[in-house]
A = this chain, B = another copy of it.
Amino acid sequence: MAQEQNIDSLCINTIRTLAADVVRGANAGHPGAPMGCAPLAHVLFKDYIMANPKDSHWPNRDRFVLSNGHACALQYIILHFMGYKLSMDDLKAFRHANSLTPGHPERKHTDGIEVTTGPLGQGISNAVGLAIAEAHMAATFNKPGFDIFNNFTYVIMGDGCLQEGVQSEACSLAGHLKLGKLIAVYDDNHITIDGDTALSFTEDSMKRFEAYGWHVQILENGDTDIKGLHQAIAIAQKVTDKPSVIKIRTTIGYGSLHQGEETVHGSPLSEDDIRQVKEKFGFNPDEKYVVPQAVYDLYHAIGARGEKACKQWYDMVEQYCQKYPELGADLKRRLKGQLPNGWENVLPRFTANDKEMATRKCSEAVLTKLVDIIPEMMGGSADLTPSNNTRWKTAVDFQHPSTHLGDYAGRYIRYGVREHGMSAIMNGIGAYQGVIPFSGTFLNFLTYAWGAARLSALSKTRVIYVMTHDSIGLGEDGPTHQPIETLALTRATPNMLTLRPADGNETSGAYLVALERDDGPSVIALTRQNIPQLEGSSVEAVRKGGYILEPESDANPDVILVATGSEVSIAMEGAKLLQQKHRIKVRLVSMPCTELFDEQSRDYRVSVLKVGVPVVSVEALSTFGWQKYSHAQVGMTTFGNSGKYTDVYALFKITPEHVAEVAIQCINFFKKEGSVPHLFAEFSPAT
């Protein structure tokens, strides 16, 4: 036992001294939390976490989430110890441009990182999603004697995470869902950047977690009570009908001259301080980046333990496939990330004779087909199910069976009025393998969730945002609910697709695109109001982002109208006015996705938006950004108004008549000028 204590201390103190060196080497970063959390992280990995450094995507590995992502020196160090693809040189390159060890952990960037954390409150919320996915996969695939999925999700989180609203939302839902395999450790060090938590954070946070329905434990000495840490996690594992949180009192920057103070949070320790830390912990103060072989040995053994379990698991899966061939085939397919053969064939197709329909209803028709053939799709809504039309008739809710409202095999999540939590949870579900999350709210409330939605993009996670009520067309709910700036935001965001379909075919096309990509999120913006099915619209053309709606139209138009979503039919009416009343030749372009259009060849783009022809864009949201594609813009420059949607469109002059008027002004302006400017300059650094 004494020996065990010794090796534990050695590991913990190696983490501490190495973290101090790594942060000092970067000349920027956060030494305090790694030094304070070293004991609890060590106990978690040594005694509990089952993961295989040689196969970091083993599906049934335990998930570890560092919600206080600024402490990532800790995580990188442990991954390095275990033998993940992270060398000592990588540690030395901490926070250097293009290194594998960025300032906060990034999924799909560094081996062994499950989710992208750092923005506070996200990691714990992602972990709720990971735990949902585990529970769902277990309920879907496990059979007697075949616990295909039974991993734990472990989280370390700090004071900052506990103050963020996204965490409150996700943890309230986690309690409701009784996610027994979620275990969160709260690094209670009483220090935030401003100073002592007494300045702003004096709530009884553990009472709050009890109110959420979590199992709560408190450990007074997280700095040295290794046995207590071990026992607390063992107890948490045994509570199977509640998520667990363990509050552990720690000392930030333990060992530093400034331990327990905010100064150790966000800046490297001084060289002198690091020397005394090393002396205190029995290390040579003249040496840097020291890892005793015994530490490597112990962590390699942790890795070997996981490797063995991983092998056994794959063997079990083979037996499972023999006993349950259909389920087994589906399991393997899902884990490979392959969609079922022929899934595209179920996408509904419409003709111009089909009845007018809101695209949110088209979306319901599409989803109803897709969820049948793609069992990995898991839907939900932030309490707007009947408005978002995200639930299909045969859906079963994802609920703890004791509620009699559903079960864990259910594929529809009642997120409650929790947009930010929903988005962060989807990032977690999408990061688990074998599940594709989608869910809805009003487009305007996507920005409630933006802290997480941008991380869907940064972390390259396939998340489908079903955003209905996508403009002033939502009508009576008024400007508080009408998005104006929202699509400028999504379009300005790297690696996020903004899809605004103009009718049923394009709605099918939007899902086609969203599901074909597996490396990022898609925002599908859908109308509340009915709109017509369009002549010439296409499912597949959505892949190109923008296309000529009437390919038979004149090759030499006087003006091009480019529109998205519900405004395509308005532009079409405007085109008719121009053609019939003014004998102006018009080309109509539907542009469901500007980002995909940008990815097309210049030849294609100028074949659509012809050089030398004036272009007028029509979209019932902010005109901001349309200057890239059009010479004149019909759209919004103010907030909206509460009224019948037709009245609101009229009020803001987003009408066929005004489109025609602007088109004529635009044509005349460029006639006077003698030329029409290019929209795509060759030299743009973006191309």
A residues lining the B interface (CB < 8 Å): 26, 28-29, 69-70, 95-99, 102-104, 106, 116-121, 159-161, 163-169, 172-173, 175-176, 192-194, 198-205, 207-208, 210-213, 381, 383-387, 397, 399, 403, 405, 414-418, 420-421, 444-445, 447-448, 450-451, 454-455, 457-458, 475-481, 484-485, 488-489, 491-495, 622-625, 627-628, 631-639, 641-644, 647-648, 650-651, 653, 658, 662, 665-666, 668-669, 673, 675-678, 681-686
Contact = CB atoms under 8 A, between A and B. Distances in A.
A481 B201 contact: no
B480 A651 contact: no
A607 to B, nearest CB: 19
A658 to B, nearest CB: 7
Nearest to A458: B639
B477 A484 contact: no
Contacts of A161: 417
Given A194-B381, A485-B494, A633-B685, 6 more contacts: A28-B476, A104-B480, A193-B383, A207-B210, A208-B212, A669-B681
A625 B668 CA distance: 25
Number of copies: 2
Given A176-B200, A194-B381, A203-B175, A625 B488 contact: yes
Given A165-B166, A201-B172, A494-B484, A478 B420 contact: no
A417 B159 contact: yes
Nearest to A209: B211
Contacts of A164: 165, 169, 417-418, 448
29 contacts: A97-B642, A97-B643, A97-B644, A104-B477, A104-B478, A116-B480, A119-B445, A163-B169, A168-B168, A168-B169, A176-B203, A193-B387, A200-B383, A200-B418, A203-B212, A204-B213, A207-B208, A448-B451, A457-B639, A484-B492, A484-B493, A488-B492, A494-B639, A624-B625, A632-B681, A633-B684, A633-B685, A637-B686, A662-B685
B448 A203 contact: no
Nearest to A641: B97
Contact of A95 (B106, B405, B643): B643
A125 to B, nearest CB: 10
A658 B685 contact: yes
B451 A686 contact: no
A192 to B, nearest CB: 5
A633 B384 CA distance: 40
Among A387, A416, A644, A658, which residue has the most Cβ atoms of chain B within 10 A? A416
A6 to B, nearest CB: 35
A202 to B, nearest CB: 5
A441 B540 CA distance: 43
A163 B172 contact: yes
A492 B624 contact: yes
Nearest to A416: B200
A480 B455 contact: yes
Nearest to A214: B203
Contacts of A634: 685
A26 B489 contact: no
A164, A201, A387 interface centre (most CB from chain B within 10 Å): A164
Contacts of A477: 28, 70, 103-104, 118
B203 A638 contact: no
